Chain A
């Protein structure tokens, strides 16, 4: 098993763990972390493919995605904190106000 194949397996594992966590866990912060995990799994596969193709665009793109992900989480965490202050719980099932 060569290195790039290994890395792709790792990225698949990261993504799957994140997805599974997102679906089964109800804690909002954990769900956010799982989403980050998924994003990084995808990022890993992106650099792996870029390296295999011999181009640097993939690496550049990953750095851009890191920045976007960092700003996204910087907004998401304060929103979660505000929600928690309101309801004093991190359970995602408590926030169903938009349900029709």
Chain B
């Protein structure tokens, strides 16, 4: 079924970017005031959301994917690269999340960024991000998706380094960009392989090719691994996870939109979109599940020892993304997407809530300097608590449903489910519950540890922020009842579960709930009052704590193993030997020889008339001699 709405959905945020970017930034002379900028920036994504709903209705009535070919990008040989859009159930779920949560975060940003001197530039970037994200989600061909993929990376870089006056923030932006490049190389190689085998990059054609009767001319596992490297970069999985915690340098709504709710789930979306490949690649799926499980667990352990409110949430995001990859690795693609949706709700709520806390405290992010905020900023507290309960997996909030399904399939899926995978994911869930309630306790309960000056200025955020928090808290509370898995099942069937394991499902649910409450009570016990018990544990296990607080020294390891050798190579070999010695040296040598030659000839022209006359005589004699010889 063809339509023109899809192109419009994608183009509206681009229009917002161009409008605000050209007219309202310092570049274009700041022609609009803040209210107009806010209106444009929020209205266009809002319209995109409404149009997505219209497309969703059309999809429901027709039952066939909406297809829209915009134009042919390039023709090489007989093959054309088309910029086309494809809207099926999977794309519908993702687009609704992207435009819906995206619009909410735009609205929140109007309050959070109020008064920032570059606030038009901020909204222009935010709209640009939404444009690329929609391109990524709606693209029919892997190439269009890749353009969106790179574009969101760009927008992420621009927004992490939004306050580029601070060198640390600018460096965080560069780190994110460069780490993503490593993953993108894998993505590109995967695309080359697929192009070589199929002659097309349309994802529906590739999936059909792998699912068809004839074996394709490329190894599914190889392609799967290559694409997964790309997904690792974007979705911050081990070993490419290091950029995401640093990305918290950006404004907090950006952390919520890009680094929690939407962009980082692009890797999940890629794998789910290419499920045709992964369902035929047990080795690649195994790697996906193992990396996901390891990331989920290790990131959760790091989050336990962080003291920056946003860093805790960042490692929590990495950990939750790991859980989604576990689901993908065992073939439960629809479940992973379900967790993407619920995670978008509660993690956006958590980040925006932390933004509200930071806003209330005038920029303070260290949870050791908070405490006792529950009474002071009640709306933020209640919404934050709801989202915390949701992510911890306490029924009947959203996180419980999606996480429980992940755990179940990690245990019981016939496509790679295993007890060790379940144990890893369950441990991560327990830790999730623990560190999230630790965060809640340290921030909102107990005695205040704020300086009197900060305490004096604590205030609840404006309605544009609290309103969004309430909406997201409601979604976090009831989002679990959205039947995402059931809705996607015709497209992404759930993996089979062996008959012998069915009777364990109830037990596992109980274990999961017990673990969630266990985390809650442990956090409450350790961090109650002045958190004396936690301090005692910290002293007893000082070594372990140091490892966790320093994130297993992975940044230092990369610095020593990669950063320094590369710096040495660049400095010594490329800069000093190649650039300075070879290139500059050759040029300098040429210039010097010209100068020496000029000096030698210059000595002939010493200004002595007699010598000139002598030269003339010698020249004439030479000419005469020569003509006698050869005449």
Interface pair A99/B610, CB less than 8 Å apart: no
Residues of B within 8 A of A93 (CB): 608
Q: Determine which of B602, B605, B610, B617 lies in contact with A92 in the assembled complex, contact meaning CB atoms within 8 Å.
A: B610
Residues of A within 8 A of B607 (CB): 96, 98-99
Interface pair B606/A92, CB less than 8 Å apart: no
Q: Determine which of B606, B608, B610 lies in contact with A22 in the assembled complex, contact meaning CB atoms within 8 Å.
A: B610
Q: Determine which of B605, B613, B617 lies in contact with A99 in the assembled complex, contact meaning CB atoms within 8 Å.
A: B605
Residues of A within 8 A of B463 (CB): none
Residues of A within 8 A of B613 (CB): 19, 22-23
Interface pair B605/A96, CB less than 8 Å apart: no
Q: How many residues of B contact A (CB 8 A)?
A: 10
Nearest-Cβ distance from residue A32 to partner chain B, whole angstroms:
11
Interface pair B608/A100, CB less than 8 Å apart: no
- CA distance in complex: A26, B606 (Å): 15
Q: Determine which of B602, B605, B606, B617 lies in contact with A23 in the assembled complex, contact meaning CB atoms within 8 Å.
A: B617
Interface pair B614/A23, CB less than 8 Å apart: yes
Interface of A: prevailing SS: helix
Residues of B within 8 A of A44 (CB): none
- CA distance in complex: A31, B609 (Å): 10
When A22-B610, A23-B610, A93-B608 are in contact, do A100 and B602 touch as well, CB less than 8 Å?
A: yes
* Chain A, range 58-97, C-beta contacts under 8 Å to B: 92-93, 96
Nearest-Cβ distance from residue A12 to partner chain B, whole angstroms:
13
- CA distance in complex: A96, B605 (Å): 10
- CA distance in complex: A30, B608 (Å): 16
Interface pair A96/B608, CB less than 8 Å apart: yes
Q: What residue of chain B has the Cβ atom nearest to residue A92's Cβ?
A: B609
Say yes or no: is A56 at the interface (Cβ < 8 Å to chain B): no
Nearest-Cβ distance from residue A92 to partner chain B, whole angstroms:
5
Interface pair A19/B617, CB less than 8 Å apart: yes
Residues of B within 8 A of A92 (CB): 608-610
Residues of B within 8 A of A98 (CB): 607
Nearest-Cβ distance from residue B604 to partner chain A, whole angstroms:
11
Residues of A within 8 A of B602 (CB): 100
Residues of B within 8 A of A99 (CB): 605-607
Nearest-Cβ distance from residue B31 to partner chain A, whole angstroms:
60
Interface membership of chain B positions 575-610, coded 1 if the CB is closer than 8 angstroms to chain A and 0 otherwise: 000000000000000000000000000100111111
Q: How many residues of A contact B (CB 8 A)?
A: 12
Interface pair A24/B610, CB less than 8 Å apart: yes
Residues of A within 8 A of B608 (CB): 92-93, 96
Nearest-Cβ distance from residue B158 to partner chain A, whole angstroms:
56
Interface membership of chain A positions 31-70, coded 1 if the CB is closer than 8 angstroms to chain B and 0 otherwise: 1000000000000000000000000000000000000000
Nearest-Cβ distance from residue A75 to partner chain B, whole angstroms:
17
Nearest-Cβ distance from residue A27 to partner chain B, whole angstroms:
11
- CA distance in complex: A94, B229 (Å): 81
Q: What residue of chain A has the Cβ atom nearest to residue B614's Cβ?
A: A23
Residues of A within 8 A of B605 (CB): 99-100
- CA distance in complex: A96, B608 (Å): 7
Residues of A within 8 A of B617 (CB): 19, 23
Residues of A within 8 A of B606 (CB): 96, 99
**Residue from the set A19, A23, A31, A92 with the largest chain B CB neighbour count within 10 Å:** A23
Q: What residue of chain B has the Cβ atom nearest to residue A99's Cβ?
A: B607
* Chain B, range 447-461, C-beta contacts under 8 Å to A: none
Q: What residue of chain B has the Cβ atom nearest to residue A96's Cβ?
A: B607
Nearest-Cβ distance from residue B612 to partner chain A, whole angstroms:
10
Nearest-Cβ distance from residue B605 to partner chain A, whole angstroms:
6
Residues of B within 8 A of A23 (CB): 610, 613-614, 617
- CA distance in complex: A93, B614 (Å): 15
- CA distance in complex: A99, B606 (Å): 6
Residues of A within 8 A of B610 (CB): 22-24, 26, 92
Residues of B within 8 A of A31 (CB): 609
- CA distance in complex: A22, B613 (Å): 7
Nearest-Cβ distance from residue A18 to partner chain B, whole angstroms:
10
- CA distance in complex: A23, B608 (Å): 10
Nearest-Cβ distance from residue A68 to partner chain B, whole angstroms:
19
Residues of B within 8 A of A19 (CB): 613, 617
- CA distance in complex: A66, B608 (Å): 28
Nearest-Cβ distance from residue A29 to partner chain B, whole angstroms:
13
Q: What residue of chain B has the Cβ atom nearest to residue A28's Cβ?
A: B609
Nearest-Cβ distance from residue A45 to partner chain B, whole angstroms:
14
Nearest-Cβ distance from residue B525 to partner chain A, whole angstroms:
92
Nearest-Cβ distance from residue A9 to partner chain B, whole angstroms:
18
**Residue from the set B608, B610, B614, B617 with the largest chain A CB neighbour count within 10 Å:** B610
- CA distance in complex: A52, B608 (Å): 40
- CA distance in complex: A100, B601 (Å): 11
Residues of B within 8 A of A100 (CB): 602, 605
- CA distance in complex: A93, B602 (Å): 17
- CA distance in complex: A22, B617 (Å): 11
14 contacts between A and B (CB under 8 A): A19-B617, A22-B613, A23-B610, A23-B613, A23-B617, A26-B610, A92-B609, A92-B610, A93-B608, A96-B607, A96-B608, A99-B605, A100-B602, A100-B605
- The 10 A-B pairs of least Cβ separation, nearest first, read A99-B607, A96-B607, A92-B609, A22-B613, A23-B610, A23-B613, A23-B614, A100-B602, A19-B617, A100-B605
Instruction: Knowing that A98-B607, A100-B605 touch, tell me 5 more A-B residue pairs with CB under 8 angstroms.
Output: A23-B614, A31-B609, A96-B606, A99-B606, A100-B602
